[in-house]
A and B are shown apart, each in its own frame.
Chain A
Amino acid sequence: MSDYLSRLEAEAIHVLRETAGQFERPALLFSGGKDSICLVHLALKAFRPGKLPFPLVHIDTGHNFPEALQFRDQLAEKLGEQLIVRHVEDTLKRRGIPDAKGKFPSRNPLQTHTLLETIEEFGFDACIGGARRDEEKARAKERFFSVRDEFGQWDPKLQRPELWNIYNGKIHKGENVRVFPISNWTELDIWNYILRENIELTSIYFTHERTCVLTEHEQLMATNEFITLDEHDVIVNRLVRYRTVGDMTCTAAVESKANSVEDIIEELKNTTVSERGATRMDDRVSEAAMEDRKKGGYF
């Protein structure tokens, strides 16, 4: 079995089964984006004909694309699996945390609070996520089983060595583990897998017309109720698609006419800009933005 997609798939299924075997209360974090959709697909391969040994959990920032939320609900229903949704809005109100401000008010860092609350509410000891090492250089240092302390914090200098196919998920009470089964996949691998497996996705990954505001970094941000426009803003109508499905307040669209998975693969082979570079505003804050968020409990 030397085909690379089959090797990556086997590795991910192995990690998912280890998670189910080693933890009492795992959960799969599901956003309706392509990476988590692939995770669900892999989980079905790992555990059918049984039920998934974990619920699907979504931390809803309130700034999600409606298309992604709809897709999320439909998929959970079609599969007959449990979906738990917790809202950042509720956490902010209950704990009096100030909401995100500014022209593009990203709740991306704030969702860590809700994630940690949800982990506590259900006593999850492992949370499976679709983060990939190729996304970002701090993520390139992540383990498959990433142990977090009682505060959800990541300590990159004290990571457990991970060898062969052996994953040490032993933790003390209160700690939990973030599990990343598709660590070794790249953006292009995901798309090649979606093509091979004929996986259904939400419509915003494919070309559509959208009204966008052009940001100072020449990024296209869809106009929506959460962002503040002013008179200097340049508003354009473009044929776009999304490379990642994050919040509407911090995820930019890319100009594209790609109408099928094949088109997208062709487009990605020729692009010169990275996935997060093309689409995320939140990583531009500093060179170590991701490392700092992860140390604080983020994925």
Chain B
Amino acid sequence: MELLRFFTAGNVDDGKSTLIGRLLLDSGSISTDIIETVTRQSKATGEHATIDLALLTDGLRAEREQGITIDVAYKYFSTDRRKFIIADTPGHAQYTRNMFTGASTADMAIILVDARNGITEQTRRHTIISAVLGIPHILVCINKMDLVNYSEARYEAIKRDFSAVTAALSLNQVSFIPTSALSGENVVHPSTHMHWYTGQSLLSFLEQIPVQPIQSHDKARFQVQYVIRPQTTELHDYRGYAGTLWSGKLQVGDNVQVLPGGFSTRIQTIEHNLKTIESADAGQPVVIQLEDDIDISRGAWIAPVSELPVMSDFVQGTICWMDNKPFQTGGMKLLLQQGSFSTKAFIKEITYKIDIETFEKRPSDDELKLNELASVLIRTAEPVVFDNYKENRTTGAFILINEYTNQTVAAGVLEINLQH
């Protein structure tokens, strides 16, 4: 059975949590004891005669009290066809970083639009973030159709407006579904009020869209996470490099280079699931032994000699600033972490800022505030081994950590900059 991971984004009142609640409820994924608890809570708030679907996803006390989603909530359900992981992300502007988080591991985005309000600043922001993070597919749910008299004209107008937003972005695929989460129309069951819509309901869409788990090229990229050295009598010289093959394929005998060191050697053995195998596929956790005894530490990359990644101690990337404390050029000591690799770093220059509502480049004012996007030039102590994020979602992604507070202050995607 396949797994599809998606995230949902939308305005505070677009009914995002309600939509997920509806999806879970109508697909029979909610246990009766939880329905009872939520029904009891819904009645206690007095605003809901039956069940407040949003309570199914809002897990923290403060969220229930304020009626908003603060943090990413993960929900799980499956049908006979597929298993799903949902990241329900907050809509408020001050939680954009949480949306970035939920989106980073998703195969697909669902963006909610309130049919009454149409495209808003937040719709634009969520779409831009999806584009920056290279989400393979975007589904726009035009929700609350019941409040616009199920108007086809309104639906078509919003579709047109959305296409105008995405014109400047390189989005892979965009689809649209008119829904009413509150009354459950086109979520699991088809709507009886929108005969003009002949497409799929949300659930059947989710069951059928092709899964593209890792958006990446087919060049082999393996990163060392941990060195296994049993040092027993039988396995005295055993030195296995444990890690995941993030893309491509590796075979015993392949000529590889270890980066950033630059040593060339060959793959001697590959182990997976405690068994020796001849070749490994993308996504598999493996243990690799190499023919030559070279010093390799955690974070090093192993790649085929014929298809090497880029290596540089000056990297250009698009980042989202995630810390409450703004970034100011000069001085801030950072760590750049890419998978299992980590090195000291600092932001040398904010090349330009990206307007999160228009996607236009703006001149830098040497400061980055929470939730702002910018293209930055980063200087690192050790060289970073990477690919363009657009071609490899794993080797091209990184976070920045404040060395004093240990907080993750930014997340970003790398691009190959030939100037350095």
User: Interface of A with B (CB < 8 Å)?
Assistant: 1-4, 6-10, 13-14, 17-18, 20-21, 44-51, 53, 133-134, 137-141, 156-157, 159-166, 168, 170-172, 183-184, 186, 188-189, 271-274, 277-278, 287-288, 291
Is residue B298 within 8 Å, beta carbon to beta carbon, of the partner chain? Answer: yes
CB of A141 within 8 A of CB of B238, answer no
- Closest-CB distance, B406 to chain A (whole angstroms): 4
CB of A166 within 8 A of CB of B281, answer no
CB of A141 within 8 A of CB of B71, answer yes
In the complex formed, the residue of A with least CB distance to B335 is: A170
CB of A10 within 8 A of CB of B411, answer no
In the bound complex, how far is the Cα of B64 from the Cα of A162, in angstroms?
23
Cβ contacts under 8 Å, B100 to chain A: 161, 163
26 contacts between A and B (CB under 8 A): A1-B284, A2-B2, A2-B211, A3-B1, A7-B213, A7-B283, A13-B285, A14-B244, A18-B340, A21-B226, A49-B228, A138-B60, A139-B59, A140-B57, A140-B73, A141-B72, A141-B73, A157-B62, A157-B70, A157-B71, A162-B408, A163-B411, A186-B76, A188-B78, A287-B61, A288-B60
CB of B31 within 8 A of CB of A166, answer no
CB of B406 within 8 A of CB of A10, answer no
Stretch at the interface among B188-196, B254-262, B351-359, B390-398: B390-398
Is residue B85 within 8 Å, beta carbon to beta carbon, of the partner chain? Answer: yes
In the bound complex, how far is the Cα of B32 from the Cα of A164, in angstroms?
34
In the bound complex, how far is the Cα of B217 from the Cα of A189, in angstroms?
30
Cβ contacts under 8 Å, B225 to chain A: 14, 17-18, 20-21
CB of A166 within 8 A of CB of B407, answer no
List 3 A-B pairs, minimum CB-CB distance, nearest first. Answer: A277-B33, A137-B59, A4-B3
Cβ contacts under 8 Å, A53 to chain B: 226
In the complex formed, the residue of B with least CB distance to A170 is: B406
Partner of B61 from A140, A162, A291 at Cβ < 8 Å: A291
Cβ contacts under 8 Å, A171 to chain B: 406
CB of B3 within 8 A of CB of A164, answer no
CB of B337 within 8 A of CB of A166, answer yes
In the complex formed, the residue of B with least CB distance to A1 is: B283
Contacting residues of chain B (403-420) with chain A, CB-CB under 8 angstroms: 406-408, 411
- Closest-CB distance, B371 to chain A (whole angstroms): 11
CB of A160 within 8 A of CB of B407, answer yes
Cβ contacts under 8 Å, A51 to chain B: 230
Cβ contacts under 8 Å, B242 to chain A: 17, 46-47
In the bound complex, how far is the Cα of B238 from the Cα of A1, in angstroms?
28
Is residue B282 within 8 Å, beta carbon to beta carbon, of the partner chain? Answer: yes
CB of B76 within 8 A of CB of A134, answer yes
In the bound complex, how far is the Cα of B34 from the Cα of A196, in angstroms?
29
Cβ contacts under 8 Å, B246 to chain A: 165
- Closest-CB distance, B83 to chain A (whole angstroms): 5
- Closest-CB distance, B379 to chain A (whole angstroms): 20
In the bound complex, how far is the Cα of B337 from the Cα of A216, in angstroms?
53
Is residue B315 within 8 Å, beta carbon to beta carbon, of the partner chain? Answer: no
CB of B226 within 8 A of CB of A20, answer yes
In the bound complex, how far is the Cα of B397 from the Cα of A184, in angstroms?
21
Is residue B338 within 8 Å, beta carbon to beta carbon, of the partner chain? Answer: yes
In the bound complex, how far is the Cα of B112 from the Cα of A77, in angstroms?
53
Contacting residues of chain B (53-97) with chain A, CB-CB under 8 angstroms: 57-62, 64, 70-76, 78, 83, 85, 97
CB of B339 within 8 A of CB of A156, answer no
Partner of B322 from A139, A161, A165 at Cβ < 8 Å: A161
Is residue B209 within 8 Å, beta carbon to beta carbon, of the partner chain? Answer: no
Partner of A184 from B85, B394, B401 at Cβ < 8 Å: B85
CB of B240 within 8 A of CB of A49, answer yes
**B 15-59 binary contact with A (CB < 8 Å = 1; else 0):** 000000000000000011110010001000000000000000111
CB of B337 within 8 A of CB of A10, answer no
Interface contacts beyond A2-B211, A13-B244, A50-B240: sample of 16 additional A-B pairs, CB < 8 Å, sorted by A: A1-B213, A3-B1, A9-B285, A14-B225, A46-B226, A49-B230, A49-B240, A50-B230, A138-B59, A157-B60, A160-B408, A161-B101, A161-B411, A166-B398, A171-B406, A287-B37
Cβ contacts under 8 Å, A163 to chain B: 100-101, 104-105, 397, 399, 408, 411
CB of B71 within 8 A of CB of A272, answer no
Q: Given A161-B97, A161-B408, A274-B31, do A184 and B76 touch, yes or no (CB 8 Å)?
A: yes
CB of A166 within 8 A of CB of B298, answer no
Cβ contacts under 8 Å, B57 to chain A: 137, 140
Is residue B98 within 8 Å, beta carbon to beta carbon, of the partner chain? Answer: yes
In the complex formed, the residue of A with least CB distance to B104 is: A163
- Closest-CB distance, A145 to chain B (whole angstroms): 10
CB of A17 within 8 A of CB of B243, answer yes
Is residue B274 within 8 Å, beta carbon to beta carbon, of the partner chain? Answer: yes
Is residue B361 within 8 Å, beta carbon to beta carbon, of the partner chain? Answer: no
Cβ contacts under 8 Å, A7 to chain B: 3, 213, 283
- Closest-CB distance, B255 to chain A (whole angstroms): 24
Cβ contacts under 8 Å, B401 to chain A: 168, 170
Q: Given A2-B211, A4-B3, A18-B340, do A140 and B59 touch, yes or no (CB 8 Å)?
A: yes
Contacting residues of chain B (207-266) with chain A, CB-CB under 8 angstroms: 211, 213, 225-226, 228-230, 235, 238, 240, 242-244, 246
Cβ contacts under 8 Å, A160 to chain B: 407-408
In the complex formed, the residue of A with least CB distance to B70 is: A157
Contacting residues of chain B (339-363) with chain A, CB-CB under 8 angstroms: 339-340
Most buried by A among B59, B228, B399, B407: B59
- Closest-CB distance, A59 to chain B (whole angstroms): 25
